[in-house]
Structure 1
Amino acid sequence: MIVGLAIGMRMTAAAMATTAVLLPAMLAGTIFVVVMTMIAALLLMPLARVDHRTAFFATAAAGMADMATVAQQRGGDPDVVSLMHAIRVASVVSVVPVLVIGFGEPGAPVQAGGAIESLPLLVMALGLAWLTALLMRPLPFPNPWLVGPILLGAALSGSGLLMVAIPELLIILAQLLIGISLGVRFKRALLLRLPRVVAAALVVSAYMIGSSAGAAWVMSSVSGLPYMTSFLALAPAGVTEMVITAKVMNLDAEIVAAFHVMRIAVIASTILLTFALFERLEKRLRDRPV
């Protein structure tokens, strides 16, 4: 919520116009992620010795809980799906920020133009962000606790109604809480029961990171976006973690958020159609003469 509000406050009218120009790149990035995860599923099947249903939902770039539920409904193994998602996100969150911070060029610190440092206004803005997230929870939006505050902050900042500065200490606190939430996803019993899946998940995660790095170079060359911004925009991890990394590096966090939100929204709304296409592809490959 804090991170979302901070990003939204940077979404001035000029910033939103710049983001809108990148819609074709966002669509292309989403298509890339869908294709990449399909290939990842094909890799996961023999490596982890899982069926195609489990492999597909385990590698789909969508929410872990949602994919585990859909996988179970479709005859997949929800435990494998949950474990794969947890390892993928943890791997990307552990590796990508290190690569970006270690090898990337940080941008200049950016604060919303005319942002006001006021505790009462900050409390009011956080309260509004909390209410916005609550109202969005029943709606089919990805990660309402991030997207809701982003939309609120963008509306307030873009319209000029309110631009409040978000203290850096709150951003650091948000990072700590997100790190803890990622760590508690791992259950010892599940890790011990599925060691082959753990190893396969690490291999597939490495493939995803490498593919995203290569695609980011192409996107950067075509769109003119900085390479590290493109990398974070295409990285197969949660929107919150990648956006925080972008913000820490003073990169275009709002653009990174826009890429991920579009990707999650499109994938979540078309997941069953994509699964049907994957089933046909997997069957064709399986029936192909050797």
Structure 2
Amino acid sequence: MTWCGWCVNEGYLEAHYAQRASATAPLPDDDGRKPGDQQAWTSEQRHALTRHVDEQARNAIEALTTLSEDVDPREKQQARYTALRAARDRALVFVLAYTAVRVGELLRDPNDPRRRGVRWEELSLDDGSMDVYRKKQQWDAASLPDPVITPLRSYRQLMDPPTERWPVFPTFDQRTLAGLVQDELTDRGERSKAITECRQKYARDLLLALDNDIRPPSITTDGARSILQRLSEAAKIDIDHPKHDYLAPHGGRRGMGEVLVRTFGYTVAARYLDNSEEMVRERYSHIEAGELGDVATEALNEVDSLNRR
């Protein structure tokens, strides 16, 4: 992967500028920001976002499961689609918030065919692990802590993927799914009229894809950013950051890193973040600086106290 591609995946760049046909403006000036200036979800922000998506998913699933038996089939399909979307969003937020997995390791990168998004076959909910293609360009197991297990298990039960090779976080983009369904059914020998009639039986093409094992692509890293923009606004989360007015995906990883460094130190944090201890110390140097400042303050207070005696 190129340097620009890595920066896009990590959230440091909004777009892959090196792939643009031509530059129209000079390179930006160095804004002087330090590692500690990068967005990191605070505990309050993480709890606000996870509470919001959990409530939305619970309400949508309850609305589906409490429908009367004689309800119109299309209405039931629409309720299932709404529940699936809410459950997917909840699972995505919990994974980003608690696993510290890089968004480029979790979702599809259009610029890197090796990063096609994590599949159900790569998750072991019983063991609490997930196989991901790491930044170091090799497969490795990432931890799934307790908070993410229930959202993932509930989501899987609701989706009931036809095979284990389905992406955990498929796209719900209607235009993408419409083209995929049309092309796949054509390849299977269906005529245009039959395809139209088949699609008309479903409220959404995603439901047709599930019933016919037409595997959609995973959402992209850019798609995840769009989802988090929507969810951050809906949850009315207070965000004060110079670059992002929403909770960006990489902020979940950095927020988890802050928790681990402060609680267990740099060595444990480095293992969980799949980084070298040297890199973690560099990126979270503001924590050590603050702690050293506290030590200095305590030392000064002790000396001043002795001098007053």
Q: Normalising by structure 2, report the TM-score.
A: 0.29
Higher helix share: 1
Structure whose CA Rg is larger:
2
Q: Normalising by structure 1, report the TM-score.
A: 0.31
User: Whose relative contact order is higher, 1 or 2, with alpha carbons under 8 Å and at least 6 apart?
Assistant: 1
